Every structure is written in C-alpha cells, then in structure tokens.
Structure 1
C-alpha cells in the first residue's frame, strides 16, 4: 500500500474548535452559500471582523470591498472562497443557500455552542444600554439576537434556556422587520459570561468593549 498523501485542506476544517464554531456563527448571519456547491461569501462593514473570520478559517484569499449602493464610498468588506468539502459540511449542519429565511438549528457540539452563539451575536446581534429616567440609579441594558428566520430564533432560545435557564422577552418582529430575541439585564449577564468564557477569544472588538464598559458602569451602581 502506498503512502497516504496530505489531507485536503477542507478535511481539516471538520474538526470542531472554538475558532471554527465562531466562524460558522458568522457565516450563519453575515455569510452566504452560492448555488454552485463550492463558494462561500462573507460580507461585513467591519474590517476587523472580516480579518478575524479569515484567521479563524486559515484562509489566504484576498479581502475585497464593495460599494453599499449609496455614494462612492466602499463600505462593505467581502471575503469569498471556494471549498467543496467545507461547503458540504455546512450543508450537513444546517446552512444552505438562500438560508436567511429558512435557517433553523445549527448542529454543533455542546462544547462549542458558546463560540457559535458569540458568532451569531457578532454577526446579527446588538447591545444597548441607558439610564431609565423614571428611577434613580437605574442603569439598564439589553442584548438582542436578530434573524429573518423565526425558526432559527426559536432554536436559539431553546438552546439558551437549556444551557442557562434564560428565555428572553419572546420573539417579535418590530415594524415588520427581522425577528428579534431580546434579553434584559439579568439574563444578558448570563449570556455574556457564556459567550466570553475566556480571554482572547475571536470576537468583534467594538461589541465586546461596549459590553465591557456597560458592565463596569452597572457594577458601580
């Protein structure tokens, strides 16, 4: 029997890791799979995020940019790559072409759910804080996951309930837009602790800093 050659690059990606799970969360939100069975695209306004995504998957492809459609400024960063094996892997765990309104659950080992969820948050999540003028020392904050697929948020809500005992404020679609799953301060703290479970994890730094600053304020109240 002859010697085995090196494994194809795509096979290496099948071994789950924190970085892979995070990147899959980003693909599930800001990525798309083309209908050709090979190519995957990731588009974001954040240069830091696309660079992090590239490192997580050990890609060598060049990061491009495109116009948002308004004016001449190139506001979006694009990374496109082709990998049949990885494409098929994504299909098997729940990511398909034209997934935005059809995506449901994403098959992920429980160990890597925090990293996947952090990727979902960095892709389509938001966080905001404020003082409620009705009460003294009433610093409030909320963590929100968004999706065009209600089934996806039902799946995410179920996962978070099982892991952390949090349920959120229900799944709504304000003003007829994307669906939202919103968590108040107490439940948000549990999710934040899970997502940022150790230092130096791949993440969108501006969101992490925003959350960090809000927690500092809340801890001094």
Structure 2
C-alpha cells in the first residue's frame, strides 16, 4: 500500500526521528520513489512505521554479508523521497553522506534516531580508581564529512565536543562522548515522556544512570504507547 500525501511534509519530532533512522539504516532506491528501512530490532521497525504513518507489512531482508534475515519495511512515496533528497539524503549514501538540513528545533530528535540506528553506549568500573564508574556514548558513520557535521552541530547547540577517531579495522568514524558530556546529551535526546525510541537502548541508558549516583530521573519513564509497538508483527 502506498502512503497518500496530500500536503507537503512538515518537520515534527516524529519526522526528525525517522530521518535519523533513515540516515543510518535506511536506503533510497535508484527508482526515485522507493524507500527501505531495515533493522534487527522489530520494535524499531514498528516505531518507524508509526512515525511516518506507514501501513505496509513488515517483511524480511537477507543480509549480503551473513545471510541472516532481518525485519524490513519497504514502501513507495515520491513526495517523501524527493523531500529526503532535498535535505541531503541520497541513494548509496554510506560513505558519501554529508551535511543534512535539520532544523535546530528537531535536531535532538534526529540525533536520537541516529543513535538508535547506528549508535551505542557502554559502561565499566575503572579498576585504577575506587568507585570510578565510566560510561560512554558513540555515534558512528563511514563518512568523514557527515561525522564532522554531526560533531559541529552538537558542539554548536550544547557546547560539548566529544572525541573523534577512526577504526583501523573497518575505517568507520566514531564520535565518542564520556560521562559528563553523555549526561548532557541524554537530557537533550530524551527531553520528555513518550518520545519514539529504541526501547532496549533507552533501558540500557537508564540502568547506567541508575548505577551512576542514582541519576535515573534524567530519563522520563517509558509507557505503553512505546512498549506496545513491539507486541507483534503485522
């Protein structure tokens, strides 16, 4: 089923979040009409569908690297496709994507989608010091121009700079934020209740903050409106 759009697309928190997901795990076909989003997390596919009001059924896509099958949504929407081109997304974008035209008002919704698609967080106790609990957030991209833009936008909006490196193994760029800066990022990315997000990453961040001086109140509680998205496949 093809979504019908009578009006032009307007920015919203849901649209910005979906753009973040498409930036990391989406694909614009060369047909100039088809859009694909693939993820190993079925809940993320369902959240993506809800953000864009898509009714298409979820299918499976076989990975060309591992032959594993992952949930996937594919749909045709010329209006959305052209709008995405207009903000900077392109087909076969992994290594060529650069700056995107994201309004400052919705940048952290976009960033939350970017994190849910291709970001990660981890924590550990540093044995060099007593009671030293460390944690980090990472954003990843194969494009240097894109990761530099991401770093610039975050620095410009909330004055944190992170640490930028490139993996020697796969040459992917990694933008990493340590504990103090991660706390600032978290408060901006999860700024109110009921925001679309990947539940498992949200829960992991919440657990990290609970360990770190019981600061879980920095994240609002999820409720059924998010949890229900993972109940079942269409």
Q: Distance in 2 between matches of 1:171 and 1:120?
A: 18
Equivalent position SS for 1:80 = strand
Matched, 1:28 2:23: yes
Deviation at 1:11, TM superposition (A): 5.0
Could you tell me which of 186, 194, 210 is aligned with 1:216? 210
Deviation at 1:68, TM superposition (A): 3.8
1:119-198 aligned at under 5 Å gives the runs 119-198=113-192
Deviation at 1:156, TM superposition (A): 0.5
CA contact (8 A) 2:164 2:173 kept: no
State the TM-score, normalized to the length of structure 2.
0.86
CA contact (8 A) 2:38 2:61 kept: no
Q: Distance in 2 between matches of 1:48 and 1:144?
A: 21
Which residue pairs with 1:80 in the alignment?
74
Q: Deviations over 1:112-168 (max 9, x none)?
A: 001000000001000000101111101000000001101101000000001111111
Q: Which runs of 5+ in 1 are unaligned?
A: 1-7
Matched, 1:57 2:63: no
Deviation at 1:65, TM superposition (A): 1.3
- Across the aligned residues of Structure 1 and Structure 2, the Cα RMSD in angstroms comes to 1.8
Q: Greater CA radius of gyration, 1 or 2?
A: 1
1:215–1:204: structure 2 CA closer, same or farther, 3 Å change rule? same
Equivalent position SS for 1:105 = coil
Q: Distance in 1 between matches of 2:99 and 2:116?
A: 18
Deviation at 1:108, TM superposition (A): 1.3
State the TM-score, normalized to the length of structure 1.
0.91
Which 10-residue stretch deviates more, 172-181 or 64-73?
A: 64-73
Equivalent position SS for 1:114 = helix
Which residue pairs with 2:87 in the alignment?
93
1:83–1:70: structure 2 CA closer, same or farther, 3 Å change rule? closer
Equivalent position SS for 2:151 = helix
Deviation at 1:13, TM superposition (A): 6.0
Matched, 1:46 2:44: no
Q: Distance in 2 between matches of 1:128 and 1:21?
A: 25
Which 10-residue stretch deviates more, 158-167 or 171-180?
A: 171-180
CA contact (8 A) 1:140 1:185 kept: yes
Q: Deviations over 1:28-52 (max 9, x none)?
A: 0000000010000000000000000
The size of the alignment, in residue pairs, is: 213
Q: Which runs of 5+ in 2 are unaligned?
A: 216-234
Q: Distance in 1 between matches of 2:205 and 2:213?
A: 12
CA contact (8 A) 1:11 1:85 kept: no
Equivalent position SS for 1:79 = strand
Q: Distance in 2 between matches of 1:187 and 1:203?
A: 20
